[in-house]
Amino acid sequence: MIMFQTIVLTLAAILSPGLNEPKSPYDGLSIVNVKIENKRQLNQLREAGARPLSCFDHGGATPMLFSPKHYKLANSLLIEFEVLEPSVQKYIEEFEVLREEARNNAVGGWFSDFKTWDEVNTKLSLFESTNPGVATVFTVGTTHEGRNIQGIRITAPGDASTRKQILWNGCQHAREWVAVMVPMYIANEIIIGWENNPEIQTLLEKTEIIIVPIVNPDGYEFTYAAGGDRFWRKNRRNNSGSCEGVDLNRNWGHEWNGGDSTSPNTCSDVYVGPSVFSEPETQAMRDLVNKLPNLVAHIDFHSYSQLVLGPWASSNNTPPQVNLVNTLGANISDAIESIHGETYLFGTGGDLLYLADGVFPDWTTTTGTISYTIELRPTGSPGFDLPPSEIIPTCEESFAGAMAMLRFVNEPVAFSFPNGAPVLVSPGEMSVFPLTIETVFGGGVNTDTATLHVRYGNDGVFAQRSIAHTAGSEYEVQLPVSMCGLQSEYWITAETTDGETHRFPSGDELFYAGVANEVIGWNMNTNPGWNSAGQWDWGVPAGGGGAYGNPDPTNGATGQNVYGYNLQGDYANNLQQTHLTTTPIDISGINNLQLQFSRYLNVEQPSYDHASISASVDGGSWTTVWTNPSGIEDNQWQTVLYDLTNITNGGSSLEIRWTMGETDSAWTYSGWNIDDVQLLSTSGSATTGDVNCDGVVNVNDILAIVSGWGPCSQVCNEDIIPDGTINVSDLLQVIGNW
């Protein structure tokens, strides 16, 4: 966090509008990132008229519009801030230049630049006129200022009355311009897909898609208007006072006016409105939803932060259909990331953002719909003014997220491991873990058909074992793990009442779990002699630092020594990326590598400071294994485990590095401390058929099988094809691997 207090007086002088200058609504304003530490600070700034550009504590900091008096106030309240844009006027002018360039280049066609309400409506009509029978434009309702809220329905020709319905809307918030482009792009792609993409054709035979790109046309137009306000968020209700507008995304009928990120004050950006559903926009959208009998899923697009937020926004309670919500949410987030590598974390508002009452997706959740808020690009600065060059990439990745939803609602079942699946397990035991199999919107599962397909090692036949149904959609997997250290590979099937069999994971992917075999380890009692740049060092941590977060430890997780970044105290401000890199490690022939180590880490949240781990195989480029998703304040050692399988499989030499930095110009933490580093593999060196684990497949193994002949209720090494019976199929495995 940057401290700017020393230069504030100078800045304030520069920013004060001169007496003769013409007044623009942005004169003398700058954009600052304010580190709000409590509600009182936020309220005092708000009362003094400083406008937040996000209605919330945005990852610990709130971007706000400051005039010189707000600098003074922030200083007197000891609030820290960082100037992002010294002159809003200049910033807006520069953005307009970018837009003009983008329009002139027009590389992205219609999507090269942001579009006005009129332009959007014209495009919607064009969609309809060029695709009659597939795309139909309709009016959802009319606003305070008399504008029509336009929507488009897209589905295959024919009777749509039994098709599943999906709602994708944008722009409840006026200034979130990219949240208009995204639903328009999705509409465009779906329509194109209807012409040339067999998968979309099939999906449109089963689904009706309803898209409303601009829920808040009055506000949206105001952000473009001369004399308007680029940073307007709400609608344009006349509140018969000094302030206009209601925050539409606080006006909905779930926990309306509930106190989380809401305000009864008409001047607030999160003004809830005079009553629940008081606004023509929320009424119109509510009435639309009420007329969609088969609505199963909903995305409300916003910007910015790059997040996929599931219900509830209003509380940390478990939402209905939580496994479906989590499975689809993770699918959407993965699909988005697969396009341009941009991370959109999936979680709930309470986890990732803040709680908010009276929001649209919470209300659709109460109608039985699976609903998300997607916060589009960017992650932070420049906020709502996404460079036009990023419109298309944002649209492309969002379309992938939308497709994940379209596919999911048409899938009959969803499998999930509520506690995750085990990776490292104990030899010779059953690894027991829960599984849920749920019907996605209709139909049912034949509960007695849930089956585990499992084998030891990575070749040969899969045994089948039935999976116990415990209650409702809940099952319990008992995964046998061999004694000799061969990993178990497995997949799961279940049949739906229509007789179709479904597989988890899909395609020919497998899950695996195995005994942890140490490939190599460093307990740090002696110096491993890794390549340590900057203040990385091996030795005893001194318990220093902790200006923010916790100080370093005073010893290792085991023994005294660790590798740490600045063993004496905090990392510095303005630090570049600084690495601790292992010597190359031979991993040839080793699959399913896991990195395990003891961590004692303190780092500020990633808007400001970074701590990460990456890996390089055979001297290639560095792949990120982990990067701090939030601030981290360890006050004790903890063991962490990272799966390197997808990075290292097939490689022969591995380097791992821990990185401190970059860090910004204020707030220091004690940084990395690392101990007991181990590379583990679940792929043992055992051989199929080696029943007694002595390294050879021979007559002793046959004798073991013969003497163990018959059923095996737990884990038996003689049961080489682990189907629960020691029989001739196991004998054949011994002979086959002789």
Q: Is 145 a catalytic residue?
A: no
Provide the pairing of β-strand 632-633 with 602-603: antiparallel
CB of 179 to Zn ion, least distance (A): 7
Residue 309 contact among Zn ion, ligand 0X9, none, beta carbon within 5 to 8 Å by kind: ligand 0X9
Nearest 5°: CA angle at 257, between 254 and 261?
A: 100
The residue from 12, 29, 45, 55 that contacts ligand 0X9 (CB under 6 A) is: 55
Note whether 689 and 697 are within 8 A (CB): yes
What dihedral do alpha carbons 104, 110, 116, 118 form, nearest 10°? Answer: 120
Note whether 684 and 486 are within 8 A (CB): yes
416: tokens are 């999930």
User: Rounded to 5 degrees, what are φ and ψ at 127?
Assistant: -55, -45
CB of 185 to Zn ion, least distance (A): 18
Residue with tokens 């303190």, as numbered in its chain: 602
Residue with tokens 């298309």, as numbered in its chain: 392
When CB distances to ligand 0X9 are compared, the closest residue is: 349
Residue 174 contact among ligand 0X9, Zn ion, none, beta carbon within 5 to 8 Å by kind: none
CB of 65 to ligand 0X9, least distance (A): 15
Q: Which of residues 348-377 bind ligand 0X9 (CB under 6 A)?
A: 349, 353-356, 359, 373, 375
The residue from 83, 313, 424, 452 that contacts ligand 0X9 (CB under 6 A) is: 313
CA–CA dist 336, 398 (Å, integer): 6
CB of 148 to Zn ion, least distance (A): 22
Binding segment (CB under 6 A) for ligand 0X9, from list 50-58, 70-78, 524-532, 631-639: 50-58
Binding segment (CB under 6 A) for ligand 0X9, from list 49-57, 440-448, 457-465, 715-723: 49-57
Note whether 570 and 670 are within 8 A (CB): yes
Burial group, residue 3, by CB count within 10 angstroms (0-12, 13-18, 19+): middle
CB of 233 or CB of 455, closer to Zn ion: 233
Q: How far is CA 22 from CA 18, 19, 25, 30, 566, in A?
A: 9, 9, 10, 17, 53
CB of 173 or CB of 250, closer to Zn ion: 173
CB of 277 to ligand 0X9, least distance (A): 16
Binding segment (CB under 6 A) for ligand 0X9, from list 48-56, 90-98, 335-343, 630-638: 48-56
Residue 359 contact among ligand 0X9, Zn ion, none, beta carbon within 5 to 8 Å by kind: ligand 0X9
CB of 373 or CB of 594, closer to ligand 0X9: 373
263: tokens are 């305000």
Binding stretches for Zn ion (CB under 5 A)? 173, 176, 302
CB of 12 to Zn ion, least distance (A): 31
CA–CA dist 181, 112 (Å, integer): 10
CB of 179 to ligand 0X9, least distance (A): 8
Q: Which residues contact 196 (CB under 8 A, 6 or more apart)?
A: none
Note whether 301 and 183 are within 8 A (CB): yes
Residue type for 462, please? F
CB of 173 or CB of 657, closer to Zn ion: 173
Cα 203 to chain centroid, rounded: 25
Residue 376 contact among Zn ion, ligand 0X9, none, beta carbon within 5 to 8 Å by kind: none
CB of 176 or CB of 609, closer to ligand 0X9: 176
CB of 173 or CB of 465, closer to Zn ion: 173
CB of 231 to Zn ion, least distance (A): 12
Residue 188: which H helix or E strand, with range?
helix 178-196
Q: Which of residues 68-127 bind ligand 0X9 (CB under 6 A)?
A: none
The residue from 70, 147, 153, 173 that contacts ligand 0X9 (CB under 6 A) is: 173
User: Rounded to 5 degrees, what are φ and ψ at 11?
Assistant: -60, -45
Residue 182 contact among Zn ion, ligand 0X9, none, beta carbon within 5 to 8 Å by kind: none
CB of 88 or CB of 356, closer to ligand 0X9: 356
CB of 358 or CB of 541, closer to ligand 0X9: 358
Nearest 5°: CA angle at 231, between 609 and 174?
A: 110
Residue with tokens 């001739």, as numbered in its chain: 728
Note whether 451 and 543 are within 8 A (CB): no
Instruction: Report the 3 state secondary structure along 415-470.
Output: EECCCCCCCEECCCCEEEEEEEEEECCCCCEEEEEEEEEEEECCCCCCEEEECEEE
Per annotation, catalytic residue among 82, 281, 375, 397: 375
- Is residue 174 involved in binding ligand 0X9 (CB under 6 A)? no
CB of 54 or CB of 282, closer to ligand 0X9: 54
Residues that bind ligand 0X9 (CB under 6 A): 54-56, 173, 176, 249, 302, 309, 313, 349, 353-356, 359, 373, 375
Query: So which residues are the catalytic ones?
Result: 375
